[in-house]
Structure 1
């Protein structure tokens, strides 16, 4: 399993946290998602079969921006 950590902006509240988690969990092969509102960070564990750009695009589609 690959683990990636992303620092993002626009992660504003628990509703946004839930949207990010739900969106990432819909991707086949995502094994774990941790969203830290206080640090504006997202950690994702996923299979090698997933391209990291798929995960980044999913996060951006929810409304977050990478720092």
Structure 2
């Protein structure tokens, strides 16, 4: 399983956090989503066949901005 970490802005409340988690759960190949609203970060576990661009697009479509990315 690959893991990726994003620092993001736009998680103002639990409703947006829930929307983001639900949206990412629908992306094929994502097996883990950990959102830390206090730190403004998200960690995602996904299959190697999953396209990272689809993960980024999903985050941005919910209304969050990606500030930084690191692969683990």
Structure 1-normalised TM-score? 0.97
Aligned pairs (5 A) from 1:12-51: 12-51=12-51
Query: 1: CA distance between counterparts of 2:16 and 2:42?
Result: 12
Residue 65 (structure 1) aligned with residue 59 (structure 2): no
Q: CA RMSD in A?
A: 0.5
Q: Report the alpha carbon displacement of residue 21 of structure 1 after superposing the two structures with TM.
A: 0.3
Structure 2-normalised TM-score? 0.90
- Total equivalences in the alignment: 67
Q: Report the alpha carbon displacement of residue 11 of structure 1 after superposing the two structures with TM.
A: 1.1
Task: Provide structure 2 residue ranges, at least 5 long, that are not aligned to the other structure.
Answer: 68-72
Task: Provide structure 1 residue ranges, at least 5 long, that are not aligned to the other structure.
Answer: none
Q: Report the alpha carbon displacement of residue 28 of structure 1 after superposing the two structures with TM.
A: 1.4
Moved over 3 A (4+): none
